[in-house]
């Protein structure tokens, strides 16, 4: 008999769990878009979105998902024939490059595989080879949601500065915003791509760009802009209707207002710390499951380069990860993420990988509950695994709460 009745937990890395407060804020009749609470509320979103990113520049919202926000970035950054250096650490790096090629942007891709961060030596070599400074922008995922790799963004800025290379630093922050530390100004980031349905806890449908003054200046002549994506009209908007190029994303905006309130009530640094602590609990469990069982392992070896929003892991051999995902959903109400693009030898379907999200509106009981359900599933399915995972995860939570980690 399954034990799945009760509140289900969607532990996939987007869309993430929607807080009841966000849902309640969206539960209303269609609002007037010319006057009243909605236009009045929106003025406060811009400063709070900038605060979220540590951005003193510009922010724009498009009715779009992350792919749309990529396109907003692409069409403002580049002219046809411009060169981009794209650093890929998983499926989303590949995805960004695929979105650029049809636009006629020349993408040089450095592919670092799917389990290690960007290798700065290779980036340095590529930038040094570009003596004429033809590369207009360096594009990189902060967190690649498929692999769980987190890249060191300040190190890329330091490299550009050391080499005196003028390329803009553009970061995909779709998975990391509101989960992993991000300090746009301090880190010298020129552009961040974001979307509403991950750390921001709002349904899919809002795409964001945070953009530096430098990027606005260097991209004035970009000829790929079309009216809808052009950031100038968004950044210079003063009237409510000017921000949306048509009808506003009415309910999403009320949801976003609530989610930003929740983030700043908790405190942005506390939000980042919570994600770090829950991530460490997940890692501790996997380390225990994998002890003596090398077929179970975290995808990223170095903790400093693991996302705090999502953990990708191997539970081999195939199809054990998929069997476990099906079990946790059907028998216990916990939906885990698929092993997106994470195939290995003898595993063309990615059935040896899964992802555990700890992204957004997630607390200790949710993460510990998901891990306990995974443990139960491994027992039920007779997937061999090391002992002590739950104790290890609980210990990570206890140490964090006590201020010891
Ligand atoms: C989810 C995600 C995207 C794509 O967002 P969609 O809303 O699915 O189009 C892009 N980049 C990263 C890092 C993501 O996590």
The mean of the pLDDT values for the chain is 97
Q: Band the pLDDT of 405: cuts 50, 70, 90.
A: low
pLDDT single digits (tens) 28-60: 999 999 999 999 999 999 999 999 999 999 999
Tell me, yes or no, whether 2 lies in a domain: no
> What are residue 60's phi and psi, to 5 degrees?
-135, 150
Rounded to a whole number of angstroms, the CA Rg of the chain reads 21
The predicted structure's pLDDT at residue 345 = 83
d(CA 384, ligand 1 centre) in Å: 33
Q: Band the pLDDT of 87: cuts 50, 70, 90.
A: very high
Share of the chain above pLDDT 70, in %: 100
Tell me, yes or no, whether 67 lies in a domain: yes
201 and 218 part of one domain: yes
* C-alpha span between 174 and 340 (Å, rounded): 16
Instruction: Look up the CATH number of the domain holding residue 147.
Output: 3.40.640.10
d(CA 155, ligand 1 centre) in Å: 23
Q: Is 27 a residue whose pLDDT tops 90?
A: yes
What residue owns the CA closest to ligand 1's atom 12? 174
d(CA 205, ligand 1 centre) in Å: 11
Q: Band the pLDDT of 159: cuts 50, 70, 90.
A: very high
Cis peptide before 319 (omega within 30 of 0): yes
Tell me, yes or no, whether 20 lies in a domain: no
What residue owns the CA closest to ligand 1's atom 4? 66
260 and 339 part of one domain: no
Q: Is 401 a residue whose pLDDT tops 90?
A: yes
Q: How many domains does the chain have?
A: 2
Instruction: Look up the CATH number of the domain holding residue 302.
Output: 3.90.1150.10
d(CA 401, ligand 1 centre) in Å: 31
pLDDT single digits (tens) 167-198: 999 999 999 999 999 999 999 999 999 999 99
Q: Is 151 a residue whose pLDDT tops 90?
A: yes
Give the mean pLDDT of 228-256: 96
The predicted structure's pLDDT at residue 223 = 96
Tell me, yes or no, whether 209 lies in a domain: yes
309 and 178 part of one domain: no
What residue owns the CA closest to ligand 1's atom 3? 66
Give the mean pLDDT of 101-120: 98
Task: Look up the domain containing 273 and give its range.
Answer: 9-15+267-404
38 and 139 part of one domain: yes
d(CA 292, ligand 1 centre) in Å: 35
90 and 177 part of one domain: yes
Q: Which residue has the higher pLDDT, 92 or 345?
A: 92
The predicted structure's pLDDT at residue 404 = 80
What residue owns the CA closest to ligand 1's atom 6? 66
Q: Is 158 a residue whose pLDDT tops 70?
A: yes
CB 325 within 8 A of CB 336: yes
Three-class DSSP labels, the chain: CCCCCCCCEEECCCCCCCCHHHHHHHCCCCCCCCCCHHHHHHCCHHHHHHHHHCCCCEEEEEECCHHHHHHHHHHHHCCCCCEEEEEECCHHHHHHHHHHHHHCCEEEEEECCCCCCCCHHHHHHHHHHCCCCCEEEEEEECEECCCCEECCHHHHHHHHHHHCCCCEEEEECCCCCCCCCCCCCCCCCCEEEEECCCCCCCCCCEEEEEECHHHHHHCCCCCCCCCCCCHHHHHCCCCHHHHCCCCCCHHHHHHHHHHHHHHHHHCHHHHHHHHHHHHHHHHHHHHHHHCCCCCEEECCCCHHHECCCEEEEEECCCCHHHHHHHHHHHHHCEEEEECCCCCECCECCCCCEEEEECCCCCCHHHHHHHHHHHHHHHHHCCCCCCCCHHHHHHHHHHHHHCCCC
333 and 273 part of one domain: yes
* C-alpha span between 268 and 263 (Å, rounded): 6
The predicted structure's pLDDT at residue 344 = 83
pLDDT single digits (tens) 251-307: 999 999 999 999 999 999 999 999 999 999 999 999 999 999 999 999 999 999 999
Tell me, yes or no, whether 298 lies in a domain: yes
233 and 341 part of one domain: no
The set of protein residues with a Cβ atom below 6 angstroms from ligand 1 is: 14, 65-67, 92, 141, 145, 172, 174-175, 195, 204
Instruction: Report the nearest atom of ligand 1 relative to the CA of 143.
Output: 13
Closest among 121, 157, 117 to 138, alpha carbons compared: 157
d(CA 197, ligand 1 centre) in Å: 9
261 and 334 part of one domain: no
Q: What is the pTM of this model?
A: 0.98
CB 135 within 8 A of CB 167: yes
Tell me, yes or no, whether 351 lies in a domain: yes
Among 13-17, 342-346, 353-357, name the one with the lowest average pLDDT.
342-346
């Amino acid at each position: 008999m399954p034990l799945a009745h009760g509140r289900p937990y969607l532990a996939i890395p987007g869309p993430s769990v929607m807080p009841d407060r966000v849902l309640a804020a969206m539960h209303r009749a269609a609002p007037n878009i010319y006057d009243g609470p909605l236009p009045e509320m929106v003025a406060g979103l811009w400063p709070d979105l900038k605060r979220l990113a540590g951005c003193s520049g510009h922010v724009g919202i498009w009715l779009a998902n992350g792919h749309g926000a990529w396109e907003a970035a692409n069409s403002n950054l580049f002219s046809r024939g411009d060169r981009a250096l794209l650093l890929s650490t998983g499926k989303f790096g590949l995805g960004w490059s695929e979105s650029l090629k049809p636009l006629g942007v020349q993408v040089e891709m450095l592919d670092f595989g799917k389990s290690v961060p960007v290798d700065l030596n290779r980036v340095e070599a590529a930038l040094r080879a570009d003596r004429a400074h033809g590369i207009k922008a360096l594009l990189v995922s902060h967190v690649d949601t498929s692999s769980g790799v987190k890249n060191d963004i300040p190190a890329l800025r330091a490299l550009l500065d050391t080499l005196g290379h003028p390329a803009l630093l553009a970061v995909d922050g779709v998975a990391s915003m509101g989960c992993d530390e991000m300090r746009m100004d301090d880190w010298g980031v020129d552009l961040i791509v974001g979307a509403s349905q991950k750390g921001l806890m709002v349904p899919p449908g809002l795409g964001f760009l945070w953009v530096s003054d430098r990027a606005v200046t260097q991209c004035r002549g970009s000829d790929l802009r079309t009216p809808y994506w052009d950031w100038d009209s968004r950044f210079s908007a003063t009237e409510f209707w000017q921000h949306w190029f048509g009808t506003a994303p009415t309910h999403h905006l009320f949801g976003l207002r609530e989610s930003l309130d929740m983030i700043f009530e908790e405190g942005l640094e506390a939000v980042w710390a919570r994600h770090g602590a829950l991530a460490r609990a997940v890692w501790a469990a996997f380390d225990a499951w994998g002890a003596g069982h090398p077929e179970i392992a975290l995808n990223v070896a170095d903790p400093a380069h693991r996302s705090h929003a999502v953990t990708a892991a191997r539970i081999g051999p195939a199809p054990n990860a998929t069997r476990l995902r099906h079990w946790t959903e059907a028998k216990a109400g916990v939906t885990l993420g698929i092993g997106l693009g994470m195939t290995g030898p003898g595993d063309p379907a990615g059935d040896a990988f899964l992802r555990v999200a700890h992204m957004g509106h997630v607390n200790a009981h949710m993460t510990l509950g998901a891990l306990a359900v995974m443990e139960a599933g491994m027992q039920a399915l007779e997937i061999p695994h090391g002992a002590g995972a739950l104790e290890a995860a609980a210990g990570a939570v206890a140490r964090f709460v006590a201020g010891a980690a």
